[in-house]
Chains A and B, each alone.
Chain A
Amino acid sequence: MEALLTLDGVTKSFTQRQGTRRQIQAVAGVSLAVGRRETLGLVGESGCGKSSLARLALRLTDVTSGRVLFDGADITAWDGRRLLPVRRRLQAVFQDPTASLNPRMTIAEVMAEPFATHGIALREKLAPRIRELLSFVGLEGIDLAKRPAQFSGGQLQRIAIARALALEPELIVADEPTSALDPSIQAQIVNLLLRVQRERGLSYLIISHDLEVVGHVSDRIAVMYLGVIVETGPASGIMGEPLHPYTQALLSAAPTLAARRDPAWRRITLTGDLPNPAEAPSGCRFHPRCPLARARCREEAPALRQVDGGQAVACHFAPVETRARGIDIGRARIGMPRPSETSSNGGS
């Protein structure tokens, strides 16, 4: 598959402002590729570095090391003017449209902005083009003179998507596109994102903490924990047979409604809090919370290894020691009986 966007060993470090001036690696050597017409879902919790990764992919911040390639071109060091044609092909949608759309602008101005930024003078064709884009996202006939505050969150997210589509991008990076919305509106936006892809043939990098959303929209999924990718593979594999203990815990934490009503269902509960990125543990970064951890995990960071079916996992003991439990969790998640009872690590 020809990759449209490639992140090759990207790292992003920040220096802590106060006190020790420690280096914090928000993203620690991540390699990912998004193919044409493909959706890559990136899932992780607070502080895992997924939003930093989105900013690197969008070239909104510079990498500390590693490379960013778009359509084969190494754009890692490209600056404003040179990056402009890439920006046209690579658009973003963020979590909170009330923050990402300028509150002082009218919707007409919001929608006209991308054309102006890229020096595209549509003149008398601008207004019909804006109308067409807004109809496409289900907002036909809205009052273009209104400002963002006069719309609901769901409508604003539609406007943000329409704006992202204005320049006919090839890739949209969407950072938590549904997280600020009510549940019935989330489903609408998921449907819209799917329709946009079907009809426009573009690619997505969709970043979210929400496994329901990521599991539904993605072709492939990457799971991020404390700056590193711990598991990646086809969505069906990650959701159905997770092999990394962290992926397993994530899926077990948020199972389906049917599993939650099932009295026999037991969750794998991770003990402890999410670690502070400034104090990343040695060896495998997940080891302090991992039910399988032993001496080797504290010393040696596991590499992301190909296992099977395109799934890759960064765990010393996967898949040998994790597969049976992965199958259990995949089945329990959708409320199916387990073939084995291996989840003796469950509970807290």
Chain B
Amino acid sequence: MILSVKDLRIWFGEPGAELTAVEDLSFEVAEGEIFAVIGESGSGKTLTGMSILGLTPAAARAAGSIRFMGREVLNRPEAELRRLRGREIGIVYQDPLGSMNPVWPVGDQIAEALRAHGLADRPTAARRAVELLERVHIPDPHRVARAYPHEISGGMRQRAMIAMALACGPKLLIADEPTTALDVTIKAQVLELLAELRREMALTVIIITHDMGVVAELADRILVMYAGKAAEIGAADVIMRRPAHPYTQALMLSAMMSETAPKQVLRAIEGTAPMLHAYPPGCRFHPRCPFAEADCRQEVPTLRPYGEVALACHHPLAPAVPGEPQPAGTG
């Protein structure tokens, strides 16, 4: 396992008045896989991703363990984390314009990543920057290397951001909503690029998103998060064929609108995800869950093996073993 997260807890505020944003989170990422963390606003998915890099907001506290290639990285000194970031773990954000330096040419920013980690001298780094831009299929990489971020298109910037993240040959790439701000046809190009990079560079990728389409296309395994906790973890092929958690199913249904008969009512879940300060007792999803029963309102479901996945739900949708009679609520 290249990454193993155990009992991760992230919270804000003083003792006694703590707001817990991520709780009881454990998962592992295998080398070479694309691991998707899917969830909606406030699910804790981005906090989880950022905690791997020690980039959580200053007010956040974290406990538990995050081991990257066997080394503990949670709560390590900044100097140590800085060597990790960029060098061994690359990061791609949703908004490259906000995360690139606006007054520096794109090529110089990529070269700087190499020089900061002492991997190349100035001329080599500059040459390498152009090669990297070429690697992510930017046409005319020499021109783009000299351009400022605002002078190139959004799709081109996202490619340049990926080039920058790859500059030092990281083992792991963390991509936080890498395609969310992009147009449909440009998003398709970036998805194809990520798939190609994984195929050809044996890269491990953690992709954080709310977009089930992105997950369906790229993911080998999926972690579904809801209100700061894991709802379901497992192989994408299993989960996407037969989601066991009602929330996973709801996310899938909202990405399958065009497969419902035109203009017919969608099987939407009601309500809104709870705010940090108002998590309901029992299963945090129960107020929105169409299958909730009395135990869901009282008992917190723990994540435990269920068939081929790990699941936190008292009344799963799919049978644990294929061939078993379907439980209630799947029709």
- Residues of A with Cβ closer than 8 Å to B? 39, 45-46, 152, 154-155, 182-188, 190-191, 194-195, 209, 211-213, 215-219, 235-236, 239, 249-250, 252-254, 256-257, 260-261, 267, 269-270, 272-274, 334, 348
Tell me whether B240 and A217 are in contact (CB under 8 A): no
> Contact at A274–B186, with CB atoms within 8 Å?
yes
Interface pair A183/B254, CB less than 8 Å apart: yes
Which B residues fall within an 8 A CB radius of A?
Answer: 40-41, 137, 139, 153-156, 183-189, 192, 210-213, 216-217, 236-237, 240, 250-260, 262-270, 272-273, 288
16 residue pairs of the A-B complex, CB under 8 angstroms, read: A45-B183, A45-B184, A182-B210, A183-B212, A187-B250, A194-B264, A194-B265, A216-B260, A235-B262, A253-B184, A253-B187, A256-B258, A269-B192, A273-B155, A274-B153, A274-B155
Are the CB atoms of A217 and B41 closer together than 8 Å? no
Q: Which residues of chain A are within 8 angstroms of B240 by Cβ–Cβ distance?
A: 257, 261
Question: Does A260 contact B216, Cβ atoms closer than 8 Å?
Answer: yes
Most buried by A among B236, B250, B257, B273: B257
Which residues of chain B are near A250, meaning CB under 8 Å?
184-185
Once the chains bind, are A186 and B272 in contact (CB under 8 Å)?
A: no
Q: Which of A154, A211, A269 contacts B258 (CB 8 A)?
A: A211
Tell me the nearest residue of chain B to A215, going by C-beta: B258
- Docked Cα-Cα span, A111 to B263, in Å, equals 28
Please name the 6 residue pairs, one residue from A and one from B, whose CB atoms are nearest each other, closest first: A187-B268, A253-B188, A215-B258, A182-B40, A45-B183, A260-B216
| Known A182-B41, A184-B269; contact A274-B183, beta-carbon cutoff 8 A | yes
Residue ID in chain B nearest A259 by CB atoms? B216
Contacts A45-B183, A191-B268, A261-B237; A239 near B258 (Cβ below 8 A): yes
Q: Are A182 and B273 in contact (CB under 8 A)?
A: yes
Residues from chain A with Cβ under 8 Å of B192 in the complex: 267, 269, 348
A183 in contact with B236 (CB, 8 Å): no
Given A261-B237, A269-B189, A272-B139, 7 extra CB contacts under 8 A: A45-B185, A154-B272, A183-B251, A187-B253, A195-B265, A256-B258, A270-B189
> Measured between alpha carbons, how far is A185 from B288 in the docked complex, in Å?
11
Q: Is the Cβ of B255 less than 8 Å from the Cβ of A212?
A: yes
A184-B268 contact, Cβ under 8 Å, with A46-B183, A348-B189: yes
Give complex CA distance A261, B40 in Å. 22
The CA-CA distance from A154 to B254 in the complex, in Å, is 14
What CA separation (Å) do A27 and B155 show in the bound complex? 23
Residue of A nearest to B251 (CB): A183
- Picked from A155, A190, A270, A348, the residue with its CB within 8 Å of the CB of B257 is A190
> How far does the Cβ of A165 sit from chain B's closest Cβ, in whole Å?
19
Report the Cα distance A267→B191, complex, angstroms.
Answer: 11
A39 to B257, CA, bound (A): 16
Are the C-beta atoms of A209 and B270 separated by less than 8 Å?
Answer: no
B241: nearest chain-A partner, CB-CB: A261
Contact of A183 among B210, B216, B262 (CB under 8 A): B210
Chain A residues with Cβ under 8 A from B251's Cβ?
183-184
Bound state CA distance, A183 and B40, in angstroms?
A: 7
**Which residue in chain A gives the minimum CB-CB distance to B252?**
A257
Q: B210 contacts A260, CB within 8 Å?
A: no
B147 to chain A, nearest CB (A): 13
A182 to B45, CA, bound (A): 14
Q: Does the CB pair B255–A183 fall under 8 Å? A: yes
Q: Which B residues are CB-close (under 8 A) to A182?
A: 40-41, 210, 273
A158 to B278, CA, bound (A): 22
